[in-house]
């Protein structure tokens, strides 16, 4: 599957499916609490299944600095 | 995973509440929770005039959008910091959002108002960009509110921001900051009430709302944010949260409920006497406010280094631009 990281720089990774979203993040070493994962215009929960044909986006949620 | 409301496939899990939602019910839940936060603390009252600090990032645009859905008319305040393309794109994102939603926006450019951009200010004072930046932002929010007749300033601080600040304050036992921290700072003469209606949502939940509501915000981060301590605290807290859902919320809530009242009692709660700054007229504790002091110092040093002409003098009056609803 194709994983586009926006954390926040754009990067692309290829991973072998099938995987759940939680497993995919684990493989990428990303803390699930700091990101949202999207497929098209939908967001995915950690248990969602991904296979090789899928393309997902991992979008960073946390930001730094003083507000 | 299924939506706890309708049983459709869920798109967002809120583990700390043992719930999950489809897109529609997530948005409903988010707006309802925000309303509940506002009511619980009486953050907004009839007759209030609201200014929302909008940077163009997800938190502030989500806040602005939800406030207007709840029927609160908030005018936006965007501060142009002069941090290269990052700042230009932040303004563009904010303007597009305001125009698309028919919202009124005030823009203040730090360099146009005070003579230096935030990076130039940092160079002139020899202090980290974030310290001058934070001070100028806080000053401008309150100053613009007072000058333009707003008594409430709303900011997009979320649970991660608040928990990270708490962890930072606790690690250094900064008692003054601990006593003041919270979702609402009461209004005082010359000081607008400060409210944080999103303070119970994790940053991931705010990002999920922005995504599902189709809010296009600036993803790019200020280059000075990298290495900021707040980011390290957030990462640490998220590691705890992943292992123990609810940690961030309990950490903040229980502090506010159990510890802060005791701290307040012991700190004597003697409210510091406020007076007007001799330079700019804003409310402060000393003769000259911290913002005027910072800029006076910056001017003195910038002149020595020929960044500013010798006759330049700091004028504390900010220059405002009003982008009304009609303007595209
Ligand atoms: S990261 Fe620092 S310098 Fe950049 S906008 Fe935030 S407070 Fe200002
Ligand atoms: Zn639903
Ligand atoms: Zn002053």
Chain B residues near residue A46 by CB distance under 8 angstroms: 1, 13
| Angstrom distance (rounded) from CA B195 to CA B183 | 6
CATH number at residue B263: 3.40.50.620
Q: Is residue A67 part of a domain?
A: no
- Out of A60, A65, A67, the one facing B155 most closely (by C-beta) is A67
pLDDT tens profile B295-316 = 999 999 999 988 889 999 999 9
Contacts of B303 (CB under 8 A, 6+ apart): B309, B310, B312
Tally the residues of chain A.
67
Distance (angstroms) between ligand 1 centre and the Cα of A67 equals 8
As for the ipTM of the complex, it is 0.96
Structurally, chain A folds into a number of domains equal to: 1
Q: Name the residue among B228, B250, B215, B187 with its Cα closest to residue B48.
A: B187
Contact A64 B57 (CB under 8 A): no
Q: What is the pLDDT of residue A62?
A: 85
CA A66 to ligand 1: nearest atom: 7
Which is more confidently placed, A63 or B120? B120
| Angstrom distance (rounded) from CA B234 to CA A62 | 8
Q: Is residue B113 part of a domain?
A: yes
Q: What is the pLDDT of residue A66?
A: 58
Distance (angstroms) between ligand 3 centre and the Cα of B280 equals 4
Q: Name the residue among B2, B6, B17 with its Cα closest to residue B250.
A: B17
Given the structure tokens 């839940």, which residue do they identify? B29
What are the phi and psi torsion angles at B253 (to 5°)? -55, -50
Q: Is residue A45 part of a domain?
A: yes
Ligand 1 pocket check for B135: Cβ under 6 Å: no
Give B225's pLDDT tier (boundaries 50, 70, 90): confident
Q: What is the pLDDT of residue A43?
A: 98
Q: Structure tokens of B309?
A: 């002409």
Contact B57 A45 (CB under 8 A): no
pLDDT in tens, chain A (67 residues): 999 999 888 999 999 989 999 999 999 999 999 999 999 999 999 999 999 999 999 999 988 765 6
| Angstrom distance (rounded) from CA A49 to CA B274 | 59
Give B266's pLDDT tier (boundaries 50, 70, 90): confident
Counting ligands in written order, the one closest to the CA of A63 is 1
pLDDT tens profile B45-61 = 999 999 999 999 999 99
Ligand 1 pocket check for B134: Cβ under 6 Å: yes
Question: What is the pTM for the complete model shown?
Answer: 0.95
Mean pLDDT of chain B: 94
Contact B204 A36 (CB under 8 A): yes
Q: Is residue A13 part of a domain?
A: yes
- Out of A36, A47, A64, the one facing B230 most closely (by C-beta) is A64
Q: Is residue B4 part of a domain?
A: no
Q: What is the pLDDT of residue B272?
A: 75
Does B33 contact A at CB distance below 8 Å? Answer: no
Average pLDDT over residues B150-161: 98
Q: What is the pLDDT of residue A18?
A: 96
- Tell me which of B222, B230, B234 to substitute to probe ligand 1's pocket, judged by most ligand atoms within 8 Å of the beta carbon: B222
Average pLDDT over residues B122-137: 93
Chain A residues near residue B201 by CB distance under 8 angstroms: none
Tally the residues of chain B.
328
Give B226's pLDDT tier (boundaries 50, 70, 90): confident
Q: Is residue A29 part of a domain?
A: yes
Chain A residues near residue B206 by CB distance under 8 angstroms: 61
Q: Is residue B282 part of a domain?
A: no
Given the structure tokens 């012991």, which residue do they identify? B266
CA B134 to ligand 1: nearest atom: 7
Q: What is the pLDDT of residue A63?
A: 82
Q: Is residue A65 part of a domain?
A: no
Domain that holds residue A54: 2-60
Helix (H) or strand (E) holding B317: none
Contact B211 A63 (CB under 8 A): no
Q: What is the pLDDT of residue A47?
A: 97
| CA separation, residue B321 to residues B54, B77, B78, B110, B264 (Å) | 14, 10, 10, 12, 40
What are the phi and psi torsion angles at A9 (to 5°)? -65, 145
Distance (angstroms) between ligand 2 centre and the Cα of B7 equals 6
For A42, the closest chain B residue by CA position comes to: B11
Give B328's pLDDT tier (boundaries 50, 70, 90): very low
Does B235 contact A at CB distance below 8 Å? Answer: yes
Given the structure tokens 């230096």, which residue do they identify? B116
Domain that holds residue B128: 34-269+302-323
Structurally, chain B folds into a number of domains equal to: 1
Helix (H) or strand (E) holding B319: none
β-pair type (B152-154, A55-60): unpaired
Q: What is the pLDDT of residue B306?
A: 87
CATH number at residue A15: 3.10.20.30
Distance (angstroms) between ligand 3 centre and the Cα of B194 equals 19
Q: What is the pLDDT of residue B273?
A: 85
């Amino acid at each position: 599957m194709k994983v586009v990281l926006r954390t926040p720089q754009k990067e692309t990774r290829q991973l072998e499916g099938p995987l759940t979203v939680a497993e995919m993040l684990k493989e990428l070493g990303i803390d699930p609490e700091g990101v949202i994962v999207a497929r098209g215009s939908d967001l995915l929960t950690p248990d969602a299944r991904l296979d090789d044909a899928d393309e997902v986006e991992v979008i960073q949620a946390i930001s730094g600095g003083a507000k | 995973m299924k939506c706890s409301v309708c049983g459709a496939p869920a798109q967002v899990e809120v583990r700390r509440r043992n719930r999950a939602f489809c897109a529609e019910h997530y948005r409903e839940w988010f707006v309802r929770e925000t309303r509940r936060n506002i009511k619980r603390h009486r953050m907004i009252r009839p007759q209030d005039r609201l200014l929302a600090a909008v940077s163009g990032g997800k938190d502030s645009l989500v806040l602005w959008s939800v406030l207007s859905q709840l029927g609160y008319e908030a005018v936006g305040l965007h501060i142009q910091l002069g941090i290269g393309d990052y700042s230009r794109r932040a303004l563009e994102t904010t303007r597009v959002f305001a125009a698309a939603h028919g919202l009124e926006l005030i823009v203040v450019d730090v360099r146009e108002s005070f003579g230096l951009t935030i990076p130039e200010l940092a160079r002139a004072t020899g202090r980290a960009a974030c310290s001058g930046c934070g001070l100028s932002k806080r000053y401008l929010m309150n100053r613009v509110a007072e000058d333009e007749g707003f008594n409430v300033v709303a900011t997009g601080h979320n649970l991660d921001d608040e928990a990270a600040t708490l962890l930072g304050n606790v690690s250094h036992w900064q008692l003054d900051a601990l006593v003041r921290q919270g979702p609402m700072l009461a209004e005082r003469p010359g000081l607008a009430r400060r409210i944080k209606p999103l303070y119970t949502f994790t940053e991931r939940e705010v990002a999920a709302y922005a995504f599902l509501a189709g809010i296009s915000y600036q993803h790019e981060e200020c280059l000075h944010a990298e290495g900021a301590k707040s980011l390290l605290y957030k990462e640490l807290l998220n590691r705890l949260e992943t292992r123990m859902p609810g940690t961030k919320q309990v950490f903040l809530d229980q502090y506010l409920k159990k510890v802060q009242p005791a701290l307040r009692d012991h700190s004597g709660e003697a409210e510091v006497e406020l007076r007007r700054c001799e330079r700019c007229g804003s409310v402060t504790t000393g003769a000259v406010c911290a913002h005027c002091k910072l800029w006076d110092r910056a001017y003195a040093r910038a002149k020595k280094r020929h960044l500013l002409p010798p006759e330049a003098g700091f004028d504390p009056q900010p220059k405002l631009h009003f982008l009304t609803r009609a303007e595209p």
